[in-house]
Amino acid sequence: MLKLNSVNKTFNKNSLDEYKALDNVNLHLAEGEFVTVIGGNGAGKSTLFNAISGSVLCDSGKIILDGQDITYMPEHKRASFIGRVFQDPMRGTAPNMTVGENLTIAYMRSINRNMMGVPSRKEKDYIRSRLASLNLGLENRMNTKIGLLSGGQRQAVTLVMATLVKPKLLLLDEHTAALDPASAKTVTYLTRKIVAENNITTLMITHNIGSALSMGTRTIMMDSGTLVMDLKGEERKKASVEALLKLMTKYSSNTYRYE
């Protein structure tokens, strides 16, 4: 489904600030696989996501998604089949537009239609039903400006926006890190539910080691732009938070959470 072959990215080339953000990264994900990504600040996690989504173009290597070479495809074209939810609940939405308008734009983009077009009655009912499936009552706030929602509510809407039409790949960029504990718990539950029900191939960055081991089917760790750990199967099932934290101290001085 997703293949990264020898992907490299260096920023600020030929300057004192030059650094290699991605160093010969090779990563293969099967269809429906849910992989959690851990690593300290500067490990290359966000650059990895940016290279996949197209907001950063890699220097060399290939990125193949569902058999298609997207290495140098423009970001706006990838947006129709790659969903992404950011850490900041304010990103990925238009705060001065309503919940309904944001959802409609996301839906129209995903089906490659004019984003300012008008969906059919059947499509409107579908969008509303997807919002209702969250059980947060947000289907009754379709005319509320999305900027007036709480962080947790907004992140839940953004999650629906990213998956209204099943994406080939879903990127979750620490999407619960900025939320209060109760909201984070709700969004985590909704993430599990939506990904499982739709069998969505997913990559999720997290600093929560408990979540990294309990969510999804596989855990990888990055350091200095490379993959330094790949846990799956029985090895992952047997891994403990404490053991993983000890292993991670070899690579990073960052503080990780036990929860």
Element (H, E) at 170: strand 169-173
Say if residue 101's pLDDT is above 50. yes
Q: How confident is the model at residue 253 (pLDDT cuts 50, 70, 90)?
A: very low
Q: How confident is the model at residue 114 (pLDDT cuts 50, 70, 90)?
A: confident
CA 195, CA 51: separation in Å to the nearest integer?
22
What's the rounded mean pLDDT across residues 197-206?
96
pLDDT of residue 251: 66
pLDDT digits (tens, 9 = 90+) for 40-51: 888 999 999 999
This model's pTM is above 0.85: yes
pLDDT digits (tens, 9 = 90+) for 21-71: 999 999 999 999 999 999 888 899 999 999 999 999 999 999 999 999 999
Q: What percent of the chain has pLDDT over 90?
A: 77
pLDDT of residue 252: 59
Residue ranges of the alpha helices (H) in 61-167?
75-78, 99-110, 121-132, 151-163
pLDDT of residue 256: 46
Domain ranges of the chain: 1-81+168-259, 95-166
Say if residue 259's pLDDT is above 50. no
Average pLDDT of every residue of the chain: 91
Dump the DSSP string for 80-92: TTEEEE-SSTTTT
What's the rounded mean pLDDT across residues 215-232?
93
CATH class of 1-81+168-259: alpha beta
Cα 138 → chain centroid: 22
Q: Would you say 87 and 178 are in contact if contact means Cβ atoms under 8 Å apart?
A: yes
